Amino acid sequence: MRSAMLLTELDDSACLGVSRGDTPIACKDCGVYQLCLPPDGGEADGSILDQITKNRRIFKRGDYLFRLGHPFHSIYAIRSGSVKTYIWMDDGRVQVTGFHIAGELLGLNAINSKRYHCEARALETTSVCEIPFDQLEALVRSNLSIQYQILRIMSREMLQNQELILLLGKKNAEERLATYLIGLSRRLEQRHLSPCEFNLSMSRGDIGNYLGIAEETVCRVLSRFEEEELIELRRRYIRLRAPGRLAQIGGVAECAARESQVG
């Protein structure tokens, strides 16, 4: 038996946006591909890109990609699988700071201090491209647009963190979970994966920790959602039956309405 995976219900070749063979990630928005393709759609420097995409590693469930405080050497582009990142306080309280799926980059916030400032752990069998920072720097020097891509990626990550701050500061338990489900759904959709039917790779405890609520509250709210026929639930399998309604509950703007204006 393989370990729990996002989207085990779907066929393998589509799973997490990675095709079977050695072909690159199919999604325009993904990891190294995203990093190495200039925004104008031209081709990046093939040799360096090839070199980087060959640095593949597999992590099994529970393996650490990197650990808090350790020296920064690489950033990681997830090819398939999923990863959680978290930090903690001296007394042992832990805060999950993010779940990361195919196409996302990890470790960028270590650039400043040259040390990882969170811990990254695989939630399931996960394939990544490891990109040594010196290689990345060389890449940047050889190709100005890549530097700009990195800025864009970091800028986007900062936006996501702001959304999380809004969630933690102002939303109640129902809104938090609705927001979470819709956010996950949209990320899957961006990767051309089924946005309304998937398997969670993280536990209820992880979800609750991330959202700043207790594991039990996660269960209760999800049960309520199921009662109200907003979702269908079987352990880690979930189907969104009313994504629009969930977005409404979560206070998440429709994609199109994102650029709403001020008075």
User: By the criterion CB under 7 A, which residues form the site for DNA?
Assistant: 1, 3, 172-174, 203-205, 208, 212-220, 222-223, 233, 235-236
Q: How far is the CB of 118 from a second copy (least distance, A)?
A: 7
Other Cβ atoms less than 10 A from the Cβ of 26: the count is: 16
Helices (H) and strands (E) in the chain, counts: 8, 11
Q: How far is the CB of 103 from DNA (least distance, A)?
A: 24
Please identify, using beta-carbon distances, which residue of 60 and 156 lies nearer to DNA: 60
First to last CA, the chain: 56
**Binding flag, residue 115, a second copy (CB under 8 A):** yes
Q: What is the DSSP letter of 71?
A: B
Q: Which one of 16, 129, 150, 230 is in contact with a second copy (CB under 8 A)?
A: 150
Please identify, using beta-carbon distances, which residue of 3 and 55 lies nearer to DNA: 3
Please identify, using beta-carbon distances, which residue of 118 and 123 lies nearer to a second copy: 118
Cβ distance 81 to 125 under 8 Å?
yes
Q: Report d(CA 35, CA 4) in Å as an integer.
A: 29
Map residue 225 onto helix, strand or coil: helix
Angle at 97 between CA 202 and CA 119, to 5 degrees: 85
Interacting stretch for a second copy, rule CB under 8 A, among 48-56, 93-101, 184-192, 220-228? 93-101
Q: Report d(CA 25, CA 8) in Å as an integer.
A: 18
**Binding flag, residue 28, a second copy (CB under 8 A):** no
**Binding flag, residue 132, a second copy (CB under 8 A):** no
Residue 23 touches which of DNA, a second copy, none (Cβ within 5-8 Å per kind)? none
29 φ/ψ angles, rounded to the nearest 5 degrees: -100, 20
Please identify, using beta-carbon distances, which residue of 80 and 179 lies nearer to a second copy: 179
Q: Report d(CA 213, CA 255) in Å as an integer.
A: 26
Query: Where would I find the beta strands (DSSP E) of 133-236?
Result: 197-199, 231-234
Residue 172 touches which of a second copy, DNA, none (Cβ within 5-8 Å per kind)? DNA
Positions that interact with a second copy (CB under 8 A): 67-70, 87, 89-91, 93-95, 97, 108-113, 115, 117-119, 140-141, 144, 147, 150-159, 161-162, 164-166, 168-170, 209-212, 251, 253, 259-262
